[in-house]
Chain A
Amino acid sequence: MTEFFQLLFSGVALGAVYSLIALGFTVIYRASRVINFSQGAFILVSAYVISWLATDKGVPFFLAVALSIVFAVAVGVAFQLLVLRHLVGRSAFVAVMVTIGASIAMTAAVSAIFGPDQKLLGDPWGSSAVHAAGITFTWVKLWSIIVVAAVLYALYLFDRHSRYGLAMRATASDHIAALAAGVPVGRVHAIAWGMAATLGTIAGMFLAGFPNSPNLGLGDASFRAFPAIILGGLESPKGAVVGGVSIGVVEILTSGYSPGWAGTNFSAVAPYIVMIAVLLAKPYGLFGSVPAERI
């Protein structure tokens, strides 16, 4: 039973990070109907920038995180302004391809600049932990859960009370009508990209924490957050968190209990199997509804 709760804790913590990534998808999707396939690259870049500042340049860790957020936001907003802005109104395929293009270019650039070896994150938590009832609660994981809760609350406040939150909801429901009503759609999109970049940086920080470290495979976590947004529906922040946590728990529990016949590393594909099973039953996710088409 202790083992189960240990795995459950790890699963929830991993799920919390998936939730951050999934929220990053949701924020952009809601504002611009784009699924950002470059979210993983933002995670990767951020983790390496934090590592470089904190371990090579001796910048205090949280300042390094803050600077990395600034950098990621700048890249995200620049990408929106320089590239995606010119593609508004084109098919979903175009945005998918362009964000994939950005993703492989950014990932290769990180590999070229920092080399293939893994790095040290330079975080203050390391492997430190509290122990209770036979379970090890590492501080990195505890903090990831706390931060996700805080981020979710902040997003909720933004959504309800900020003028841009309202603008974002308007843009999401009808882009053309929002433009006509004077909503600064371009700025709304840029803000969404900035928010997603911030979420990606925080996710990157936690993903690279103990027992992991900054390495070139870090961005792959974003692919495992896809099942999360499919489960939760692309548009619902709450769904992103529910989906993210479910996927994290499924992944960690299968890593602990998967039968031998399922093959090595089965836990990495378990989220996709869950996703496909769910989609067979509910083609638009657990919380999504069939989009009414107009003609």
Chain B
Amino acid sequence: MARPRPTGPILEARDLTLRFGEVTAFQDVAFAVMPGELFAVIGPNGAGKTSLFNVLSRVYTPTSGQIALDGRDLTALRPRDLAGAGVARTFQNLGLFGPLSVLDNVLVGRHHLMRAGALRAGFGLRSARAEEREHTAAAMAALERTGMADVAGVAVENLAYGDRKRVEIARALAMHPRLLLLDEPVAGMSADERVEITELVRALHADGDLTILLVEHDMGMVMRVAQRILVLDFGRPIAVGSPAEIQADEAVIRAYLGAAPEAATA
């Protein structure tokens, strides 16, 4: 499944603004993410990070500005086209289907790669069953990767919070994305789990093809894995740069009230 790697940025935003009536979620945001990059977006609560992800996954339409995927206008796509375009995401507040099993949740991520319709599936045709087997194997492989394969048959609503987040990551991986959007993947996790997920994200990135956009409050994680960081403050971009540059940036330090970056977690 080697895809041709475009030479330009995989994702590029220019003057991007999103408002809800009077509320400005973010404004004049500009950045470019190169293929294979691990790009982080940080900022205090309410800075507009999740809203930015929602724009990227077409849940929201930007009020103004441009956003391009592979150089093409992203707003021309519908939410459901994104999976086919190679974009997968996790949700800060989890977008799982509670009563469905872990495996079924991950298989929904394979939906766009599968073909069976109601008739083929309902009549249990051999082609539908073969497809089902093939994609179940792929889903199980994704679950192995996040360490959730042993609970594949359990309803998601019976899992602990940290485990649910792992299922979400597995589902996003199973979608076979080129661009992975992770919204606070380690929030609400124990220290051990944080280390595991940090290692997982690093390993996913090291595999090569995957571009990752990461929103995270855990500065330890961000500084360890990110190649470049965009800092939002009250919806305004205040800095973009390498972890070292960001840690030294005056505006960033001021935005975090001069506190050590770690304290911004609160």
**A, B in one complex:** yes
Residue of A nearest to B59 (CB): A295
The DSSP consensus for interface residues of chain B is loop
Q: Does A292 contact B (CB under 8 A)?
A: yes
Residues from chain A with a CB closer than 8 A to the CB of B54 are: 295
Q: Does A293 contact B (CB under 8 A)?
A: yes
Residues from chain A with a CB closer than 8 A to the CB of B20 are: 292
Q: Does B95 contact A (CB under 8 A)?
A: yes
A292 and B25 alpha carbons, distance in the complex (Å): 14
B25 to chain A, nearest CB (A): 11
A89 to chain B, nearest CB (A): 13
Q: Does B93 contact A (CB under 8 A)?
A: yes
A293 and B91 alpha carbons, distance in the complex (Å): 14
Number of interface residues of B (CB under 8 A): 6
A295 and B93 alpha carbons, distance in the complex (Å): 7
Residue of B nearest to A292 (CB): B20
Residue of B nearest to A293 (CB): B59
Q: Within residues 126 to 170 of chain A, which ones have a CB less than 8 A from any CB in chain B?
A: none
A293 and B58 alpha carbons, distance in the complex (Å): 12
Residue of A nearest to B21 (CB): A292
Q: Mark B89-108, 1 if CB is under 8 A from A, else 0.
A: 00101010000000000000
Residues from chain B with a CB closer than 8 A to the CB of A293 are: 59
Q: Mark A272-295, 1 if CB is under 8 A from B, else 0.
A: 000000000000000000001101
Residue of A nearest to B91 (CB): A295
Residue of A nearest to B60 (CB): A292
Residues from chain A with a CB closer than 8 A to the CB of B93 are: 295
A77 and B54 alpha carbons, distance in the complex (Å): 41
Residue of A nearest to B92 (CB): A295
A292 and B54 alpha carbons, distance in the complex (Å): 12
A242 to chain B, nearest CB (A): 24
Residues from chain B with a CB closer than 8 A to the CB of A295 are: 54, 59, 91, 93, 95
Q: Mark B27-70, 1 if CB is under 8 A from A, else 0.
A: 00000000000000000000000000010000100000000000
Residues from chain A with a CB closer than 8 A to the CB of B59 are: 293, 295
B50 to chain A, nearest CB (A): 9
Residues from chain A with a CB closer than 8 A to the CB of B91 are: 295
Q: Within residues 213 to 256 of chain A, which ones have a CB less than 8 A from any CB in chain B?
A: none
A295 and B58 alpha carbons, distance in the complex (Å): 12
A295 and B95 alpha carbons, distance in the complex (Å): 7
A60 to chain B, nearest CB (A): 53
B2 to chain A, nearest CB (A): 32
Residue of A nearest to B94 (CB): A295
A293 and B59 alpha carbons, distance in the complex (Å): 9
Residues from chain A with a CB closer than 8 A to the CB of B95 are: 295
A295 and B92 alpha carbons, distance in the complex (Å): 8
A293 and B20 alpha carbons, distance in the complex (Å): 12
A111 and B53 alpha carbons, distance in the complex (Å): 57
A250 and B93 alpha carbons, distance in the complex (Å): 46
A289 to chain B, nearest CB (A): 11
A176 to chain B, nearest CB (A): 13
Q: Within residues 95 to 130 of chain B, which ones have a CB less than 8 A from any CB in chain A?
A: 95
A288 to chain B, nearest CB (A): 16
A20 to chain B, nearest CB (A): 33
A295 and B55 alpha carbons, distance in the complex (Å): 12
Q: Within residues 216 to 249 of chain B, which ones have a CB less than 8 A from any CB in chain A?
A: none
A290 to chain B, nearest CB (A): 12
Q: Within residues 188 to 235 of chain A, which ones have a CB less than 8 A from any CB in chain B?
A: none
Residue of A nearest to B20 (CB): A292
A234 and B131 alpha carbons, distance in the complex (Å): 45
A295 and B181 alpha carbons, distance in the complex (Å): 14
A293 and B54 alpha carbons, distance in the complex (Å): 11
Please name 7 pairs of A and B residues whose Cβ atoms are closer than 8 Å in the assembled complex, sorted by A: A292-B20, A293-B59, A295-B54, A295-B59, A295-B91, A295-B93, A295-B95
> Which B residues have a C-beta under 8 Å from some C-beta of A?
20, 54, 59, 91, 93, 95
> Which A residues have a C-beta under 8 Å from some C-beta of B?
292-293, 295
Task: Give the 7 A-B residue pairs with the shortest CB-CB distance, closest first.
Answer: A295-B91, A295-B59, A295-B95, A292-B20, A295-B54, A295-B93, A293-B59
